[in-house]
């Protein structure tokens, strides 16, 4: 299987959802994230910048120098941790990560939330089912995640054993799709 094919497979797996969330119908209202309407004509960065619950993620993307990349053509699938997800990290450790001297570590963490493809929830759930309940996903940052279903919820297990739940899926953007998650994905120590 080619690297591009592997990335496409990984991206589709990562675009996780709950069983009750379906792809947005063309006539449906745009989804709301953090009190802001997510416009499919805007980039991931533009939409995230308007969401009150993604301000820490936006600050981290800026500190890591990833604004231009995530504003690019893509396609990208991004697992977007909320402010509450970042609040689970020790405050001093998070402040340290946002310092210029730690840009490389922050970049690695953030790219563990990104797959270089546009992956819908339906495709991901299909891959999980096709792989007998667990699908391995490698992110742009090199993290290997285990995607599974927990009842009607899709979860990812990161390299530290944390279970990350997709709380809102299929928020389509002009350059990919965002799936909001409840925990920051971390690489192996």
Q: Flag whether 117 is in a domain.
A: yes
pLDDT (average), residues 94-116? 94
CATH number at residue 60: 2.30.180.10
Nearest CA-CA partner of 177 in 56, 21, 65: 21
156, β-bridge pairs: 147, 164
Residue 5 has pLDDT above 70, yes or no: no
Residue 20 has pLDDT above 70, yes or no: no
Q: Flag whether 115 is in a domain.
A: yes
Q: Flag whether 134 is in a domain.
A: yes
> How many distinct structural domains can be found in the chain?
1
Tally the residues of the chain. Answer: 189
pLDDT per residue as tens digits for the range 93-102: 999 999 999 9
Q: What span, in angstroms and rounded, lies between the C-alpha atoms of 62 and 171?
A: 21
For residue 161, give its domain range: 3-20+31-181
Question: 121-130 and 3-14 are packed helices; what angle lies between their axes, rounded to 10 degrees?
Answer: 110
134, β-bridge pairs: 148
Nearest CA-CA partner of 57 in 74, 33, 21: 33
Residue 10 has pLDDT above 50, yes or no: no
pLDDT bin (cut points 50, 70, 90) of residue 28 is: low
Q: What span, in angstroms and rounded, lies between the C-alpha atoms of 112 and 184?
A: 9
pTM for this prediction: 0.83
pLDDT bin (cut points 50, 70, 90) of residue 1 is: very low
């Amino acid at each position: 299987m080619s690297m591009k094919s592997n990335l496409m497979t990984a991206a589709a797996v990562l675009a996780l959802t709950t069983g009750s969330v379906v792809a947005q119908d063309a006539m449906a209202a745009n989804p709301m994230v953090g009190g802001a309407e997510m416009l499919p004509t805007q980039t991931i960065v533009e939409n995230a910048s308007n969401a009150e619950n993604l301000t820490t993620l936006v600050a981290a993307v800026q500190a890591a120098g990833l604004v231009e990349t995530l504003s690019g053509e893509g396609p990208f699938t991004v697992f977007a941790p909320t402010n509450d997800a970042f609040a689970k990290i020790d405050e001093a450790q998070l402040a340290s990560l946002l310092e210029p001297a730690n840009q490389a570590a922050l970049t690695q963490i953030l790219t563990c939330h990104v797959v270089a493809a546009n992956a819908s929830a339906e495709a991901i759930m299909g891959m999980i089912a096709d792989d007998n309940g667990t699908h391995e996903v490698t992110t742009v940052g090199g993290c290997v995640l285990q995607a599974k279903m927990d009842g009607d919820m899709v979860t990812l297990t990161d390299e530290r054993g944390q279970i990350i739940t997709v709380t809102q899926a299929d928020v389509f953007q002009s350059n990919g799709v965002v799936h909001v998650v409840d925990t920051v994905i971390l690489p192996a120590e």
